[in-house]
Amino acid sequence: MKFKKAVLVEIEDYSLDKEYWDELDKLIESRVSLNRKDPNFFKEIADADCLLVGFQIDVGKDVIDTAPNLKYIGVLATAYGTIDFKYAASKKIPVCNLAGYSTEAVSEFTIAIILWHIRQLAEGIDRASKGNYGFGGMSARELKNSEFGVVGLGSIGNRMAELAAGFGANVSYWSRHKKEVPFTYKELNDLLKSSDYISVNVAEAPETTNLLNKDNLGLIKSGAILVSTVPPPVINTDDLAARLSKGDITYIFDHADEMTKEDLAKLTAHKNCIALGPIGFITVEARKNKQEIFVGNIKAFLEGSPQNKVE
């Protein structure tokens, strides 16, 4: 079985290696690649039975209703907050993402960026580059025996907790559902109050939009480090900027490319904000996983057993 027509939205030639393009072409009879804002988008989707989209592509009710033959929506990303997956489900159209493809990459990145910051590696390298090999005035912290809070205990959050525990941190977590794990569950407010380090790992969805806001950001204790590797809507920008203005916490995130210049400026105006591009997931291993899961999801659907279906 094959799809008759697949529309690929903002999936570039470099997004997949040749071997995976070849695999994809075995699963579809024809494919069309375009930008979401292309004037021909709705015309092309009208007779498609497969829609494959890149990161943060808007797929609402209007798109789904335009494609009466649509049978499958595949996302070349973990995030799916811009897709009306509930409406798609009502039409019996599964939305399948890449759950878990970058678990190790993102988790290791979070630990790495925290250690980079608390061990003052940038300062040490800068001094040495100028011929100064002294340590006067420098001070560092350790992860061992610290209070490490994980917001969201999906595949990445769970691995994040494991790594932090491996460093000897006291790990607690908040998730919408308690889980059978060797970590302490805390209500979100209690976790924010007690943690020295906070890693945000929830998926972007309507229920997680503005999860961190003026009502709970103020609970974060002085000296804490907040790290987010999730899309910006999870944390209210204006409320976070107000919290950063106090100057007593550090915020590190790697989705600066997804923010407007105006919103990004609100955060980067504060020296205690470290903004990075989307580099948390870019390992060789994650790229391979990403492609294998993406093509594997399509194969699984065509074989009658959809996998990685978001709900």
CATH classification code of 103-275: 3.40.50.720
- Cα separation, 64 vs 47, in Å, equals 11
Predicted confidence at residue 96, as pLDDT, reads 97
Helix (H) or strand (E) holding 143: none
Backbone angles phi, psi at 225, to 5 degrees: -120, 125
Residue 161 region by backbone torsions, left for phi larger than 0, else alpha for psi between -120 and 50, else beta: alpha
Predicted confidence at residue 204, as pLDDT, reads 80
The CATH number, out of the four listed (2.30.40.10, 3.40.50.720, 3.30.1120.130, 3.60.15.10), of the domain defined by the range 3-100+285-302: 3.40.50.720
Nearest to 253 by CA among 273, 223, 282: 273
Token pair listed for 278: 């989307």
- Cα separation, 198 vs 161, in Å, equals 11
- Cα separation, 249 vs 309, in Å, equals 37
Rg (CA), the chain: 21
Predicted confidence at residue 80, as pLDDT, reads 87
Token pair listed for 3: 């799809």
User: Can you tell me which residue has the tokens 């976790």?
Assistant: 191
In 204-283, alpha helices (H): 237-244, 261-268
Token pair listed for 137: 């005035």
pTM, 2 dp:
0.86
Strand ranges of the sheet holding 184-185, from the earlier edge strand across to the other edge? 184-185, 170-174, 147-151, 197-200, 225-228, 250-253, 273-275
Instruction: Write down the number of H helices and E strands in the chain.
Output: 11, 12
Predicted confidence at residue 1, as pLDDT, reads 85
Q: Do domains 3-100+285-302 and 103-275 have the same CATH topology?
A: yes
Strand ranges of the sheet holding 3-9, from the earlier edge strand across to the other edge? 28-34, 3-9, 50-53, 72-75, 95-96
- Cα separation, 249 vs 225, in Å, equals 6
Domain ranges of the chain: 3-100+285-302, 103-275
Residues 6 or more apart whose Cβ sits within 8 Å of residue 138: 120, 123, 124
Backbone angles phi, psi at 50, to 5 degrees: -140, 130
- Cα separation, 26 vs 19, in Å, equals 11
**Each residue's pLDDT tens digit in the chain (311 positions)?**
899 999 999 999 999 999 999 999 999 999 999 999 999 999 999 999 999 999 889 999 999 999 999 999 999 998 888 899 999 999 999 999 998 899 999 999 999 999 999 999 999 999 999 999 999 999 999 999 999 999 999 999 999 999 999 999 999 999 999 999 999 999 999 999 999 999 999 988 788 999 999 999 999 999 999 999 998 999 999 999 999 999 999 999 999 999 999 999 999 999 999 999 989 999 999 999 999 999 999 999 999 999 999 98
Amino acid present at 159: R
Contact 290, 19 (CB under 8 A): no
